[in-house]
Homo-oligomer: A and B are copies of this chain.
Amino acid sequence: MSKTTIYDVAEAAEVGIGTVSRVLNNSEKVSDETRNKVLKVIKELNYYPNGMARGLALQRTNAIGVMVPSFIDHFFVEVLRGVQAGLNQFDLDLVLFKVDKEEKDKHINRVLQGRKVDGVLAITLDLTKEEVNKFKELDLPLVLVDDYQQDVNSIFVDDIAGVKKAISYLIELGHQRIAFFDGPLESNHGKQRLEGVKIAFAEAGLEFDEQLLQEGDFTVESGYQSMKKILDVEERPTAIFAASDDQAVGALEAIKEEGLSVPDGFALIGYDNIELARYLDLTTVSQPMFKMGELGIETLAKLIYSKQDDLIKKKIEPKLVIRNSC
């Protein structure tokens, strides 16, 4: 029972393997009679075609790769769920590749050259132009999710719009001194979000005090440290805007340690709308993560299986979810 091949089926059905292959691939050129005969044998023998062999012959794997940073958090889980939901419409396998920042090149090469997938979804990977080019050279379809690049298919959220919504809201509430806990300034998100902050201030006729900018890395610990520093500033801000909910959570801890609370001591806004935010009653910028995953694979599938080659870009609008932290 260990391995039924197309030859076994052909023999049992008393036809050639070509015919079996045809019914397998729904070719029209088979008489109903033989088709049924073959189908019956296939069922009896519980036969399924070997994926590797089919891949080799077809030059197609029927699988898509999803590259994610080694750091798996709520964000990716949501995106992954979206990917899976989208995957249901197609008959594709999902290969998960973890990409360490330290060994980015090695990991990318592996995905690229192993040729085990027909296309790749790169989630929040901050790929460089050079890295993206490798995909082009090898003609492997690529879609960036939560990342953006000039001439690459991208599904991304309008960072600047999201940030502006948050800052504007705080300003409306009367806040003028607002601290901003950003992610790494060399990351796309870090840059974009800082720019958004500046724009929002400018549009309100105010100026952002760079003293109140803290560079961090989206983690709880980072938010905690940033808040500690802000508490030491001579003229404290009245509001905190964190570039991730995790950072907001960290900030909250530091605020509590100081004997203060939210929103009385500080107004606080996060980013991402992770599940925890609801329980903490944290106002935050919501990113449609599930949707991004879904759109991502839909886009990729289109690229791969309908040979579309025009650039596909989808910008998604984030929403401000207002709760009681400011």
Using CB atoms and an 8 Å cutoff, list the residues of chain A in contact with chain B: 1-3, 46-53, 55-56, 61, 63, 70, 72, 77, 80-81, 84, 87, 93-98, 109-110, 112-116, 137-139, 275-276, 279-280
Contacts and interface: CB of A to CB of B under 8 A. Distances in A.
Contact of A56 (B52, B84, B96): B52
Contact of A95 (B55, B95, B138): B95
A2 B137 CA distance: 6
Given A55-B52, A56-B53, A77-B72, A84 B61 contact: no
- 4 nearest A-B pairs in the assembled complex, by CB-CB distance: A48-B113, A52-B55, A51-B114, A51-B116
B98 A48 contact: no
Given A51-B115, A63-B95, A95-B96, A138 B2 contact: yes
A79 to B, nearest CB: 11
Contact of A96 (B47, B50, B61, B96): B96
Given A61-B52, A81-B72, A279-B280, A116 B93 contact: yes
A1 B80 CA distance: 32
Given A77-B77, A276-B276, A279-B279, A52 B116 contact: yes
A272 B62 CA distance: 36
Contacts of A98: 84, 87, 94
A114 B92 CA distance: 11
Contacts of A112: 48
A48 B279 contact: no
Contacts of A93: 95, 97, 114, 116
22 contacts: A1-B137, A1-B138, A2-B138, A2-B139, A3-B138, A47-B113, A48-B109, A48-B110, A50-B115, A52-B55, A52-B116, A53-B56, A56-B56, A63-B116, A72-B84, A84-B98, A93-B95, A93-B97, A94-B97, A95-B96, A275-B276, A279-B280
Contacts of A110: 48
Nearest to A3: B138
Nearest to A93: B95
A279 B51 CA distance: 46
Nearest to A71: B81
Nearest to A76: B77
Contacts of A72: 77, 80-81, 84
